[in-house]
Structure 1
Amino acid sequence: MALNSFSFILITFAAILACRLCAPRLMRELVVLLLSLYFLATFITEWDQLALLAAFLAIVYLLGVSKAANASFWSIATSFLIVALFWSALFLLKDPNLLGAVNPFHAHPVKLIGISYIVFRAITFVLEVAPGDRLSPLTFLNYMIFFPTLLAGPIERFHRFNETTEQPVPLEPASFDALNRVLNGFIKKFVIADNFMDLGIFSMMPHANDLSTPVLWIGAISTLALLYLDFVGYCDIVIGVSALMGFRIVENFNAPFASRNLQEFWGRWHMSLGSVIQDYVFSPLSKAVFVNIPREKQMYAIASIYVVTMVLVAMWHGTTIGFLIFGILQGAVLFAIQIRREFARARAKASGVRYAASQTALSLWTGRISTYAFVSLTMIWWQGSLPDAIMTYQRLVGWH
């Protein structure tokens, strides 16, 4: 069911009416769950898909209930194990050929719509549950399969979702800005992005030998902007729809192309994913490094954390060698930015002056353009085989 289909518009209209007319929380939650199940059912065609999803949701809920009832057994090691198991399950499910000998989905692949976002919601749910929390199975199911955000996020946090379920955002004149946002989202995604996506490098790569170098450059430079319009358009639609229903959903983008460097870019792009990675991977690992590793070796450990974190972000999107290379490159540059900043601070301290990053118009636009270009060009690794990507790079510089 596409977001521009009549069926989606119909269930969205029904959801908005039901959430606004059904005052009791129980009634609102039941209606939302039924509509979410109907939306999900349009993507589930096999019993094994339903069984796997039901089993996963049951396991996640029971883990949360167990933690709420008795958190004494829950340690940092337990949290790390849960995150690692969920990540591993996601990778094995998304790529049945990954570790084929031990992959339970190798012989019998199962495709589940929105599984990346469902797994991340599962991680935040289990890790955010506190001792004594009363967990409603109805709220939990709505959180996990909330139909506006099922396909592509944003990744909401459980307690935030629970709070907005209990106290819906009131429908005021200003709330109709959400309707304007929905319409803008439709224009970004379905009018601009969908109609111009063929300009992107991904659609050109299989035909790179037949294209001129200038056309390839147009594809390479336009892909990131088109992906942004596609993704931010989707987020505008679902955040706006959710607001009309009374749900406050987290923002996912904050003007990423205004970023002066790669660190700013990843802080502004897909922010709901970034916050989960920051809270449950990067920060705990960094803290462990500063506590347990001698100072003279911390630099190497932090560099590894940057690379590992960005590899996880990249391979969350795809488990190919190309995504691995993309993640390594992003992590390496992020670490280089930190090293450059530390050296600048050290030089400033030695000179007795206060460190301040350059804020000239030239440095600002140089940073923005170079950041956009770097992300755009490294995204070539995403699609096609390794030889395809290498050939595209060669064509871009005139070596082929």
Structure 2
Amino acid sequence: MVFSSISFLIYFLPIVIALYYLAPAGLKNLVLLVTSLFFYAWGEPIYVFLMIFSIVFNYSFGVLLDKIIRKGQRNTQGRWALIFNILINLGILGFFKYADFLVENINWLFGLKIAAVELPLPIGISFYTFQAMSYIIDLYKGKGKVQSNLIAFGTYVALFPQLIAGPIVRFESIEEQLMNRQVDMATFASGVKRFIIGMGKKVLIANNIGLLWESVAKLSPDQLPAGTAWLGAVAFTLQIYFDFSGYSDMAIGLGKMFGFHFLENFNYPYVSKSITEFWRRWHISLSSWFREYVYIPLGGNRHGMIRQILNIFIVWALTGLWHGASWNFVIWGVYFGIILTMEKLVLGRVLEGLQSRFDRWGTAICGVYTMVLVVISWVIFAIDDISSIKAYIASLMGIHSSSGIANEYTWYLLSSNLTILIIGIIGATQLPVRLWRCIYSKVLKDRPIVCMMIENIGLLTLFIISFAYIVASSYNPFLYFRF
């Protein structure tokens, strides 16, 4: 079940909201836990037991680790307990997500014929495993308190708004909210507003622009004109942003409806002026997780430049692998590791110099530099066959095609998708927000009732159009569903 589905919007969400607000305060977490497990079991009936195991296992380990620490044995028994917990969590994640990938590569390297496991990937396992691990690691470091309430801890791990695609929530950020939270009408309305905006981004922009990418992806890469190849790559670049950020908006909005305040996961990443800035703005919760629990424990930047560069490559190879059991994801991660290292050593100062010396032109050059590299990265991300990636990138450079820069099909695709492309490009910037703020400050500031009516009518219209599209369309993918 995904948020942009009939079953969720018509049945699941209204029933959960009714049960939650009818339940007494002491049972609200139980309502969320049971409904979240049902939400997960809707698509993964068997794997709900895996999630329950993860909840009970990490809860019990948290209690055990707290007792060990209270005895003053943090650096002895506590360390071994932490290592064991991490190994079990990563072992489960690795088995379900990477077993077939490992078998495939062993067979290729040694000429063997080991049978693949062929287990379907448990939905959201990467997200809830990382959340459970962060709780145990923070507890070991003394950054958080043990959660003695199993229901509250289970709610933290299984909470349906952020279960499938994040944002990755650290326990310490919602610890107090798990036990004490209040939702007033303004907060609930804010959550509804955020949910509808995210739904519109996902359904109306991501889905429609995704059709353009699907059309280009079906073509043979070695016969693509450069213009068509870039058109498809830009389409996927916009699709994955509106798909994932829209889903994150819906998750944050749902959280507010139940009294939770999740941290932002996207901050207009496509306006970045460097790849370093891009990764401060894209999938913020994942970047923060790897920085806090991998990069810093490896030594971060504390042991010289060579060690720092090595740490960067380790983190980015793991970041790529986290996204999926395929070499294209590893290459994608290493690709960013190389660029980030170059920016740290040389390019960062060059980019800063361009912006300070040439002002707007320098800023524009840095923006183009960033977006070209980002678009290429999404090609690597989207295509899982290495030879096809090479062929597509060659098409971007105009190497293979005998049709020149563009052909009739290029112009057909551009003309038929120009409106959605313009909407997507403008929507990925702060321009719509700035325009609304300008209108508000100059026209609507002293007319709160008019402002409220315009906003509510706009949101209602957006919801109706989005819902109608869901009903009418059979194309409603969610790209991060498989991670």
Distance 2:349 2:208 in 1: 46
Match of residue 366 from structure 2? 367
Aligned-partner residue type, residue 90 of structure 1 = L
How far did 1:219 drift? 0.9
Aligned-partner residue type, residue 32 of structure 2 = V
Distance 2:197 2:364 in 1: 27
Match of residue 117 from structure 2? 107
Match of residue 135 from structure 2? 125
Match of residue 473 from structure 2? none
Is the CA contact 1:121–1:157 (under 8 Å) kept in the aligned structure 2?
Answer: yes
Structure 1 pair 37–45 and aligned structure 2 pair: CA distance change class (3 A)? closer
Match of residue 15 from structure 2? 14
SS across alignment from 1:249: coil
Distance 1:193 1:173 in 2: 29
Q: Count the aligned residue pairs.
A: 382
Taking structure 1 as the reference length, what is the TM-score of the superposition?
Answer: 0.85
Which one of the candidate residues 82, 90, 93 is aligned to 1:90? Answer: 93
Structure 1 pair 390–267 and aligned structure 2 pair: CA distance change class (3 A)? same
Aligned-partner residue type, residue 336 of structure 2 = Q
Is the CA contact 2:100–2:118 (under 8 Å) kept in the aligned structure 1?
Answer: no
Q: Deviations over 1:126-174 (max 9, x none)?
A: 1122486342110111111111111111111112222112222431335
Is the CA contact 1:96–1:105 (under 8 Å) kept in the aligned structure 2?
Answer: no
Aligned-partner residue type, residue 306 of structure 1 = I
1:204-223 aligned at under 5 Å gives the runs 204=217, 207-209=220-222, 211-223=224-236
Is the CA contact 1:303–1:332 (under 8 Å) kept in the aligned structure 2?
Answer: no
Is the CA contact 1:199–1:219 (under 8 Å) kept in the aligned structure 2?
Answer: yes
Q: Deviations over 1:70-110 (max 9, x none)?
A: 12444496556754664454233213323329999943625
**Mean Cα deviation higher: 12-21 or 190-199:** 12-21
Distance 1:157 1:105 in 2: 38
2:335 aligned with 1:329: yes
Match of residue 238 from structure 2? 225
How far did 1:377 drift? 0.4
Structure 1 pair 89–62 and aligned structure 2 pair: CA distance change class (3 A)? same
Where does the alignment leave 5 or more consecutive residues of structure 2 unmatched?
Answer: 108-113, 401-483
Q: Deviations over 1:343-362 (max 9, x none)?
A: 78xxx9xxxxxxx9658112
SS across alignment from 1:100: helix
Which one of the candidate residues 186, 196, 200 is aligned to 1:187? Answer: 200
Which one of the candidate residues 62, 79, 84 is aligned to 2:60? Answer: 62
Match of residue 381 from structure 1? 380
Structure 1 pair 169–359 and aligned structure 2 pair: CA distance change class (3 A)? farther
> RMSD over aligned Cα, in angstroms?
3.1
**Mean Cα deviation higher: 159-168 or 300-309:** 159-168
Distance 1:308 1:105 in 2: 30
Is the CA contact 2:62–2:146 (under 8 Å) kept in the aligned structure 1?
Answer: no
How far did 1:286 drift? 2.6
Structure 1 pair 181–196 and aligned structure 2 pair: CA distance change class (3 A)? same
Structure 1 pair 325–108 and aligned structure 2 pair: CA distance change class (3 A)? closer
Match of residue 37 from structure 1? 37
Which one of the candidate residues 167, 183, 189 is aligned to 1:170? Answer: 183
Which one of the candidate residues 288, 293, 298 is aligned to 1:285? Answer: 298
Taking structure 2 as the reference length, what is the TM-score of the superposition?
Answer: 0.72
Distance 2:278 2:238 in 1: 13
How far did 1:3 drift? 1.4
Structure 1 pair 315–30 and aligned structure 2 pair: CA distance change class (3 A)? same
How far did 1:391 drift? 0.9
SS across alignment from 1:97: helix
Where does the alignment leave 5 or more consecutive residues of structure 1 unmatched?
Answer: 349-355
